Structure 1
Amino acid sequence: MASNSSSGGSNSVFIDMQKALKGVDYPADKQTLVETARSNGASEDVMSALDALPDQQFQTPAEVSKAVGQEEG
């Protein structure tokens, strides 16, 4: 199955982010998320989104996605 990335730009960032954060043990702080994403070869878009996150503990992957969605505002 092919995905149509032209219609959902932000969705592809969320998908890439979940891949980049594979292996994170929650709760996790921003630094842990950034370091894990970097070691997993995250794209520049994902790294930029993570860098924009507030310095706090994130309890779940959904919480990270929600915070990233708010940053795009």
Structure 2
Amino acid sequence: MAKVNPIDVQKHLKGLDYPATKEDVIKHAEKNGADEELKALLQDLPDEEYAKPTDVNKAIGQVE
């Protein structure tokens, strides 16, 4: 899987209310037009609550 740009991730998560669950993150990214690669990556995130946008980016870095 190719690396995803953290700025691109945050573009798709703009407006998401934190804390957010994995499911919240995925649904919000889909609503904002995330491509299949990003959606697949988000599906691989740990099933936890994310307190802030940087927590999502850190989790993505661990699954990439």
Tell me which residue corresponds to 2:50. 58
Q: Which amino acid aligns with 2:3?
A: S
Return the TM-score normalized by structure 1: 0.78
Please report the RMSD computed on the Cα atoms of aligned residues, expressed in angstroms.
1.3
Q: Determine what percentage of the aligned residue pairs are the same residue.
A: 44
For 2:28, the equivalent position in structure 1 comes to 36
Give aligned pairs, total.
Answer: 63
Structure 1 regions of 5+ residues with no counterpart?
A: 1-8
Task: Name stretches of at least 5 consecutive residues in structure 2 with no aligned partner.
Answer: none
Equivalent residues of 1:50, 1:68 under 8 A apart: yes
1:10 aligns with 2:10: no
User: Would you say the 8 A contact 2:4–2:38 is kept in 1?
Assistant: no
Greater relative contact order, per chain length (Cα 8 Å cut-off, separation 6+): 2
- Poorly superposed stretches of 4+, deviation over 4 Å: none
| Distance across 1 between alignment mates of 2:53 and 2:19 | 9
CA contact (8 A) 2:45 2:59 kept: yes
Q: TM-score, normalised by structure 2?
A: 0.88
